[in-house]
Each structure stands twice: as C-alpha cells, then as structure tokens.
Structure 1
Amino acid sequence: MVVNGKNRIQVVVPVYKAQQATAQCLTLLLKHNKNDEVVIIDDGSDDAAISSMLSDFVSQSPHWQLFVNPENVGFVKTANRGLKLSFGHSLLLNTDTLVSAGWLQRFKECLRHVPDLATATPWSNNAEICSWPDTLQNNPIPTDIDALAGALNQSHQPVYPELPTAVGFCMLITAQAKQKIGYFNEAVFGHGYGEENDYSLRATASGLRNVLVDNAYVAHVGNQSFVELGLQPNQKTMQRLLAIHPEYSELIDDFIKKDPLGTLRQSITDKIGRF
C-alpha cells in the first residue's frame, strides 16, 4: 500500500481484454504520465497477448505497477482493489479513454482549490452531463486532443461547478472520500454501471462535493472498457440504483432541465471554438 502526498494522485486503470482500446489508452498515458504513479489491474483477461502488452508498458516506467486478478471478478471489485492500494487520492481511468497533455495536473489543481471534495470529472466528448461542446451527446473525438486541452486550460479560468454525480469514465476519488464513505458497493452493483452514481450520492449525503474539472479534457471512445462482458446500462441498473436512492431520477432530471453548465459550455465554445 502506498501513502501519497497531499495532492499526489495514483491513477488506477482496470483492464479486461479490449486490447486495442487499452493499448491506445496506455500509449497516451505513458506519453503524458510516465513519471506519475499508475496502477494497472488486469481483471483475469486470460490472454497472453494482453499480459505481454501490459508488462511491456509497465516496464517503461519505474512508477507504474501491474497487478493481475487470478480470475475475473468484474469492474467494481477490480476498481475497489485499485482504490485500496493507496491511502491517498485515486483516479479511476477506463481503458476506452484518451488522456491529454496536462490533464492530471488540472486534477491536482482542483484538489488544492476545492474543499470537501469527494469526486471530480473532466469534460469529454462523450460523458453524459460532462459532455462538451454539446451536453448529453457523443460528440466527435477531436483531431488534436492536446491542442484542445491546451486551449481550454489557457483561455478558461476554472470554477469547478457542482455535479449531482461523477461520470465513471475518468473519476477522481479523494482520500477523504475513501476515509469517510469507503468504496464502491460491490454487493449491489456487481460488474458495473450505477456504482459511481451511488458513490456520488453517498458523498453528497456525507457533506462532500462532486465537481467538474472544467479546465481539463479527456476523450472517451465509449463502450470499449470491459466490453467483452456485454455490460450495458439498462432498466435493471436503474432499478438497483433507485432502490437505494429513490431521489436520483428527479435529481438528474432537474439538473438536465436547468442545465447549470450551459452558460459555461457556451463561454468555452465562444473562446476556443468547437474543435
């Protein structure tokens, strides 16, 4: 177990098959975060090619580690294993993401500026309420992600607006959140979907905050992470969530109706364009 500094973040990447998407994700992560702590956990992929690939990536940085589950236990248990590897802050990163230059530094700045922080999520092309430039849309992945990230950071002063829930594709979970409310609910959410919403609502109930890191950008290909299990959000997912948090639907519907991020999205678009 690693004890992190005050604003140090350990990136946790759960992996299950999806070799091509994982390779793309880790290539950019190595490019931008070779000197940061990165933990890769292979959830029993049982694939020699993937094992070899992951070992090769980890061998290129003394700060990266690889763990392997002896059998497939699902995303939630794998994520929890990663969260428990550090007493400090953790950032869960799906393998169907593409990180940008300076992305992790933006999260570290958020940690310094936002008190009582539980979770933080960046802008993305495909991140539900955190989608930009159009909300709730799968926007095209920018041709030059680094150029977009640079323009966003240089032209926009972050305000870290409140979110009703984090979006799990790229999700910071702070040390104080882990200490105060623990980890994902494995018993209820099984292999995945809904666990980040449950966690975010538990955080809010405990007096902590979920925010948008509105000067950070991470692209999200979508539906590639843990895809071989055929996992998709469905009615059963929502029923499990509403059984614990009956207020969730109304909370999200109200957020979407009021669209408190609308002015912010437009301001950013006016400054840097739509990319």
Structure 2
Amino acid sequence: MSNVTVIVPVYKDWETLSRCIESLKKYLDNKHKVLILNDMSNEWKELEEKILQEIQDFHNFFYSKNEDNLGFVKTCNRAVSELDKSDNDILLLNSDTEVTENFLEEMIKVLYANDKNGVVCPRSNNATFLSVPIRHNCNYAVTKEQSHSIYRSLKDKFVPMEEIWTGVGFAFLIRRDIIQRYGLFDEIFGKGYNEENDFCMRIRQQGYRIMKANRAYIFHYESKSFGTAKEELELKNSSILLRRYPEYWDKVKEYEKRIDPVDYFSDLLVEELYDRKRVLICILKAVEKKEAGQIIEVVDMLLNDKGKSIDLQILLIKQNNKFFKKKYSDIPIWTEKTLRGTFHIAFSFGELSEADKINLNKRAVTIIDGMQGAVINAIENQNVSKDHVEELRERWNFWMEKESLEVTNSENEIGRFIGKIKQYLYVHHIWIYIWWNRIRKYL
C-alpha cells in the first residue's frame, strides 16, 4: 500500500482547522506525511502559532508558509512541486474537513484497484453528489451527525467503488505519477473553484478514471474562505471549464442515469430522518363513483389504522379530482406534473402503464399493487436486506434503461438546438449570468 502526503492549504478559520488537525492525528497512520501550508491571510501569525503548538509532538506533521498570499490553486501547486520532494501519492485536503477511521486506507484501496484509477474522493455530509444522502425530502438541513449515521447504516449496502465523471476538491487523492506527467492545477482558475474538474477532465482524456470510495467518509464544513465571492468565482471558472470541455454537461447527465438506487433513496432506507413512512397512493386511471368509493375505503382504513405512522399523499390524474380533492383537503394531492419528493412506498389502484412505471421508478423505493393486504404488509415490513437491495437495483436498472430509450426517441432537433444556444450563452457570455445574479439579489 502506497505512502501518501496529505496537503492541507490553510488561510483562516482556526476553529475548523483545529478539528481537521485533531482528526488527522487520531486517524492517520504515521507512515503518511502531513504538510500544512499557510497561505498568509491577515491572521497568518496567530494561525502559525496555533498550528505549530498543535503538531509539535508529531514527527510526520510539517508546517510551511508562502511568502505572499497565493490563493488555493497556486498553493496546492507549490506544495506538490516545491515543498514535497517525496514520491508519495498526494491527498489534497481542505482545512474545513474532519477525517474518520480508515478513510485513507479505503481511498488507497480504490486508487490501486485498477492501474487507470487516477483520482479518488470519499463520501461526506457536504460534497454535492458525494454527500450522504445525495438528496432528501426533509424540510430542514440534514446535520452532519445524521449524515454520518445514514452512511454507517448503509455503508455495506453501497458498492465499494464507482466511477464518477469528476471529483470534488475537498478531499482529492491523486497518483503521484499522474502529477509528474501532466501537472496539477491550471492557475487560470485563480483563487479556486472548478480547478479540480479541469484536472479530472484533462486526465480522463489520457485514459484515467475518477473514482468514488464508498467505504471512506470525511466530514466537510461550509467553507468560510471565499465569502460572498463564491458564486461569481464558480460562474466565471465554470465558463472556462465548459469552453474547454463542452462534453462536461453530458458527462453529468450520464452519471445521473447510472446512479445507484441505494444512494438515490438513502434518506428513505434508514430510520434516522423520518418519523413517518412516506406513502404515495397512485390513482392514474379514470375511476367511476363506485370504484372511487372502494379506494376511499382503503385510504380511510390507512388513515385510521396508520395515520400516526405514515405521511400519506395522493397522486392522481385531473379526472379524479372530483372524487378525492374535496374529501382529502388536508392531504397533499399531486398531479404527475406537480409531484415533488420521493417515497418509501407507492401503491396503485389498477395496473400501471409502462410510462407510469418509468415515472414512479424514481419516486418510490417500493412499488406495489394497491390491494389492502399488500399495502399494510408493505408498510409494516419494508426493510433493507441484501435481497431487497438487489431487487431494488434490478428494478431500477430495468426502468432506467427504458427511460433512457424513451428520452432518446423523444428528443427532437428543436430541443437540441435550444440546449446548444443556452450552453453557448453560458460559456461565452458569462457576465450576463453574473450581472443577472447580482441584480436578482435586489429584486
């Protein structure tokens, strides 16, 4: 197993940096090296004193500082090219992170699982598409404790590693020989944002893969370094990225089609987030008065018997409004166009069409026929056993393939043309977007 130099560029905010250092002292094997590089904010002296005091008894921790403030990109480049003369692989680690047990061992394992694995990133509470959960229905922010609890519950259900289209720079493990061959970050990206995406696209062109280590987890706190400049930095730098790699957006869409359903539904596959099971009743064919009465009996039974343990919502076509909307005015009632969120269970009255099954595939962990006994059984016995996970993946892959074919067949020249115009404006006239965002804040 390779040795690694962990590079931690620091600017300010001792509170988060101290957590980062403490976690590295606790969970990093001392055969690995840590280089903390101070990028000279107006607080640099105070930061230096605290860092040196914190690492004084740890022989594998080293400290250095820039002569002037260089910004994140140049600081990383300097650390790799000038300060670390070893042949170690490199882990670029944000100072607003906190590592966990075996994080690096798991990342190294993925890096060396294949000669073409070039970059590896871990899971986190706050790292866009690497976050756990990736998405959720809560009307409040998931805490870092909740995220880690969900991760621990599902870690063994995730596949150990997956290829991703790009990395997320908060924790970025790179093979040393790739840096030696192709360099690190392009300094056109200035203070930061999208430099890691540019690097990933560059090495992808050389045949390397970017990987996600699902058995490694690192906490990431909200960065305080960029302040209000963050949004404009992202916009300007993403314009540069997309000018170089117009296929980047397509890679994003491809990844979304390949997402593991255990990840996609992770908020629903554990008990941590929801006090009640989210249940969706689907009435997607026109019903007559008698049939509507039978459905109402089942819904009333569910509300009476399970009302306190389920969050019941209804999906219907407009023709059925007259039977259900007035009767259940206190229950969220959706149409296919307005439906929001995902559900533990969706059950239908009557057979679903193929289009309905495609749509519900991304809405519910379990989809069943709405017979009364089946509904009660599903609510009481839904689990995340190995067999259940495999069934979920099998169903998901089948309907995602159907959806992909349907989307491809329905695409038309006008839609593709409009998409190209939007992309052109975004890439070549980024200041339109920047000024619009500035104006929006005052509207």
| TM-score, shorter chain, exceeding 0.5 | yes
Aligned to 1:3: none
Provide TM-score, normalisation by structure 1. 0.85
Q: Deviations over 1:41-63 (max 9, x none)?
A: 00113422211111112213100
Alignment gaps of 5+ in structure 2: 274-443
Change (3 A) 1:270 1:27: same
Question: Matched residues in 1 for 2:22 and 2:166: separation?
Answer: 29
Give the conservation status (yes or no) of the 8 Å contact 2:128–2:134. no
Question: Matched residues in 2 for 1:34 and 1:100: separation?
Answer: 12
Change (3 A) 1:270 1:143: closer
Question: Matched residues in 1 for 2:94 and 2:251: separation?
Answer: 26
Greater relative contact order (Cα < 8 A, sep 6+): 1
SS in 1 for 2:70: coil
Aligned to 1:200: 200
SS in 1 for 2:90: strand
- CA-based RMSD of the aligned residues comes to 2.7
Question: Matched residues in 1 for 2:205 and 2:17: separation?
Answer: 35
SS in 2 for 1:83: helix
Alignment gaps of 5+ in structure 1: 1-5
SS in 2 for 1:115: coil
Change (3 A) 1:223 1:168: same
1:108 aligns with 2:108: yes
Question: Matched residues in 2 for 1:148 and 1:64: separation?
Answer: 32
SS in 2 for 1:162: strand
Provide TM-score, normalisation by structure 2. 0.54
Greater share of helix residues, 1 or 2? 2
Q: Deviations over 1:199-257 (max 9, x none)?
A: 00011100111000011111111223x3368444432121111121122123223423x
Give the conservation status (yes or no) of the 8 Å contact 2:121–2:211. yes
Quick check: which has more Rg, 1 or 2? 2
Question: Matched residues in 2 for 1:22 and 1:227: separation?
Answer: 16
Give the conservation status (yes or no) of the 8 Å contact 1:43–1:74. yes
Change (3 A) 1:159 1:33: closer
Give the conservation status (yes or no) of the 8 Å contact 2:5–2:91. yes
Question: Matched residues in 2 for 1:123 and 1:238: separation?
Answer: 23
Aligned to 2:11: 16
Deviation at 1:167, TM superposition (A): 0.4
Aligned to 2:145: 142
Deviation at 1:125, TM superposition (A): 1.4
Amino acid at match of 1:76: V
SS in 2 for 1:165: coil
Change (3 A) 1:76 1:100: same
Matches within 5 A, 1:104-253: 104-135=104-135, 139-142=142-145, 145=148, 155-156=156-157, 158-186=159-187, 188-224=188-224, 226-227=225-226, 230-232=229-231, 233-253=233-253
SS in 2 for 1:113: coil
Aligned to 2:96: 96
Aligned to 1:37: 33
Question: Matched residues in 2 for 1:148 and 1:136: separation?
Answer: 12
Deviation at 1:179, TM superposition (A): 2.7
Question: Matched residues in 2 for 1:26 and 1:249: separation?
Answer: 36
Question: Matched residues in 1 for 2:158 and 2:8: separation?
Answer: 29
Change (3 A) 1:264 1:81: farther
Change (3 A) 1:144 1:201: closer
SS in 2 for 1:255: helix
Deviation at 1:38, TM superposition (A): 0.6
Structure 1 range deviating more: 99-108 or 193-202: 99-108
Deviation at 1:264, TM superposition (A): 4.1
1:64 aligns with 2:61: yes
Change (3 A) 1:148 1:26: farther
Aligned to 1:265: 263
Change (3 A) 1:242 1:143: closer
Question: Matched residues in 1 for 2:94 and 2:22: separation?
Answer: 13
Question: Matched residues in 2 for 1:162 and 1:244: separation?
Answer: 22
Give the conservation status (yes or no) of the 8 Å contact 1:128–1:135. no
Amino acid at match of 1:141: K
Give the conservation status (yes or no) of the 8 Å contact 1:192–1:231. no
Question: Matched residues in 2 for 1:150 and 1:128: separation?
Answer: 19
Question: Matched residues in 2 for 1:49 and 1:100: separation?
Answer: 27
Give the conservation status (yes or no) of the 8 Å contact 2:121–2:168. yes
Amino acid at match of 2:143: P
Structure 1 range deviating more: 17-26 or 189-198: 17-26
Deviation at 1:162, TM superposition (A): 0.7
Deviation at 1:77, TM superposition (A): 0.6
Q: How many residues align?
A: 264
